[in-house]
Structure 1
Amino acid sequence: MSNSTPDIIDIKKIMGMLPHRYPFLLVDRVEEITPGESIRAYKNVTMNEPFFQGHFPGLPVMPGVLIVEALAQAGGIIVLSTDEVDTEDKVFLFTGINKVKFRRPVVPGDKLVLEISDVKRKMHIWKMKCVATVDGEVAAQGEVSAAIVDKESM
């Protein structure tokens, strides 16, 4: 990731960008970002996550759909970090999830690294490649797309 900003985006700034809140805010910090192009962020996975109570009792595994959601939230931060998007009264919603593969379980104590690249925009649709890793091993990978829509149209 070249030309990235040296500024780390902490949880307070993330909460200013994304509408998500506990228990659904799944990005803890951004380590590296090139607005509109790529991002490296992470989610610290702890036993305190509410989904571990039922997924699975005695064998806590982060649900794959939440790993994809964490990747999408990181992708949302890329889009929202650009100057080319008016985000007032708008929301960023999934339009597609493609070629997603899960390679290893994510469990309490893992640092889930979220990397988004190859960001492309066509009108109001954004597409991006996503990889989530733990200790350098791929946990999940695929492509997501999302659209910026008016809150009033929902």
Structure 2
Amino acid sequence: MLNTLNIEEIMKILPHRYPFLLVDKAEIDKDGKGAVGYKNVTINEPFFQGHFPIMPVMPGVLIVEAMAQVGAIALLNQEEYKGKIGFLAGIDKAKFKQKVVPGDVLKLECRMVKQKGPIGVAEAVASVNGKKVATAELKFAVGDANV
């Protein structure tokens, strides 16, 4: 069974806020090691003003950030890390396969494959309509939110 989180619940876990909160809804795996998130991409996104005005395309780095936010939701939902903050510590093997444009619903999957204490490695996949648009291996570190 998945634990589904709405935007208010996500905002209790992540410190990100507009315009940098890039996940609208999330589902956490029952084992707490992975999550699936969704981002409704609209023409109203502030980054489309400059990327690119004649052909709006979501920047790849923001797709990676959205995948990392989903990973942080899963990680920070674990009992020992509640109330902490997740930091993106590394990006490896990032590949971009297709454009993400206004009207797309970006499905963001992130699953921990290695974790030792507050440090972890996750595999992440972003897709639109069942087609992969990006993949990456993400490294995480958990720290105190008050630092």
Q: Same fold (TM over 0.5)?
A: yes
| 1:23 matches 2:19 | yes
**Identical amino acids, percent of aligned pairs:** 50
> Which residue identity lines up with residue 84 of structure 1 in the other structure?
E
Name the counterpart of 1:59. 55
Residue correspondence of structure 1 range 97-116 to structure 2 within 5 A? 97-116=91-110
| 1:42, distance to aligned residue in structure 2 (A) | 0.5
Distance (Å, rounded) in 2 between the aligned partners of 1:108 and 1:63: 12
Quick one: distance in 2 between partners of 1:17 and 1:152?
14
Letter in 2 for 1:20: H
CA distance in structure 1 between the aligned counterparts of 2:14 and 2:123, rounded to whole angstroms: 20
Matching of residue 141 in structure 1 with residue 135 in structure 2: yes
| Contact 1:42 1:112 survives alignment (8 Å) | yes
- Alignment TM-score, normalising by the size of structure 2: 0.93
User: What CA distance in whole angstroms lies between the structure 2 residues aligned with 1:142 and 1:35?
Assistant: 22
1:131 and 2:128 correspond: no
Aligned mate of 1:38, from 19, 34, 40 = 34
Q: CA deviation at 1:108?
A: 0.2
Q: Distance in 1 between matches of 2:31 and 2:13?
A: 13
Q: Does 1:13 find its partner at 2:9?
A: yes
1:72 matches 2:83: no
Give the corresponding residue for 1:82.
Answer: 78
1:1-25 Cα offsets, whole Å, 9 max, x none, are xxx32x4210010011100000000
CA contact (8 A) 2:28 2:74 kept: no
> 1:34·1:78 contact (CA, 8 Å) conserved in 2?
no
Cα deviation 1:86-126 (Å, max 9, x = unaligned): x44x4211111000000000000000000112432113211
The count of aligned residue pairs is 147
Q: TM-score, normalised by structure 1?
A: 0.89
Give 1:95's aligned residue: 89
CA distance in 2, matches of 1:111, 1:143: 22
RMSD: 1.5
